Structure 1
């Protein structure tokens, strides 16, 4: 059995990394359609100026949330000649940051790294930086600016579509 890949943070905190489902680039079609249209040419990966797209083990492009922030510039979608990425989709995805139980302020450690990194000011930390951070889903774009800066690896992106206004 192959050993699970560990991030440095996971190794430090004694956690093994569970293989999470791949996060596809912004504007990706639904998984089955995306996988059937994508030719694995890496045009979107090469076009990404933020270097947050990479070729996954399956050969398909994936978004690496810990690598940095997606600015939703659209270069990846423009580079895709197959239609696997459709720039007409709005929003580009329905991912939102989620705060996990490892959040340092939830355990009495003053930290606001995620809040400080968020370009949309979507993350709140209680006064004094003590108490679990929380994400305002109406403001969060899922850019992942907060994910890579979290010293406890407590943030992740998850599918969280906003409900239509009544």
Structure 2
């Protein structure tokens, strides 16, 4: 088996050690620049998050782990932060969800987990002859919460920068 074919997500579950993901997303109301400029890495936002989706990345800065759950936009992370890292005047996230090629429905397997989990109803399913309905994401309705990412059994849902989604 090729090393790149190993599913580190399942392996980390069995070993109890999380494997850092290169696609980590900064907490809501932050951007990588604000984290780099003001975050001290104190970790006050970690225990404040009721969803437990914030973890420190390899550089000691907060990032979201949507494989654990979704962001509820409660603001507890922002309230707990002693530094000017969070700015609630900006959009919560600079990303939306995207459907990757690993999607079960695109491979002929019936699955609607992402649509069932989406609180914004941003994912609907287009019927097709001879196979399961295919998911379609309305990026203008997606709030980036990660509910679909956490729910996807194929790990086909990924965050994508808004510029790429609308461009």
Classify the TM-score, shorter chain.
Answer: 0.7 to 0.9
Pick aligned residue for 1:153 from 152, 155, 161: 155
Give the 3-state SS of the residue equivalent to 1:124 in structure 2: strand
2:51 is matched with which residue? 50
Distance 1:114 1:84 in 2: 31
Give the 3-state SS of the residue equivalent to 1:87 in structure 2: coil
Cα deviation per residue 1:13-55 (whole Å; 9 max; x = unaligned)?
xxxx9952431101113x2332121011111111111111111
Q: Tell me which protein shows more strand as a share of its residues.
A: 2
> Closer, same or farther in 2 for the Cα pair 1:113/1:5, shift >3 Å?
closer
2:67 is matched with which residue? 66
1:25 is matched with which residue? 27
8 Å CA contact 1:38, 1:60 repeated in 2: yes
> Closer, same or farther in 2 for the Cα pair 1:69/1:75, shift >3 Å?
same
Q: CA RMSD in A?
A: 2.7
> Closer, same or farther in 2 for the Cα pair 1:68/1:18, shift >3 Å?
closer
Q: Tell me which protein shows more helix as a share of its residues.
A: 2
1:77 is matched with which residue? 78
- Give unmatched runs, 5+ long, in structure 1: 11-16
> How many residue pairs get matched?
154
Q: Which runs of 4+ in 1 moved over 3 A?
A: none
Residue 82 of structure 1 deviates from its aligned partner by 0.9
**What TM-score results when the alignment is normalised by the length of structure 2?**
0.81
Tell me whether 126-135 or 115-124 shows the greater mean CA deviation. Answer: 126-135
1:103 is matched with which residue? 103
Give the 3-state SS of the residue equivalent to 1:157 in structure 2: strand
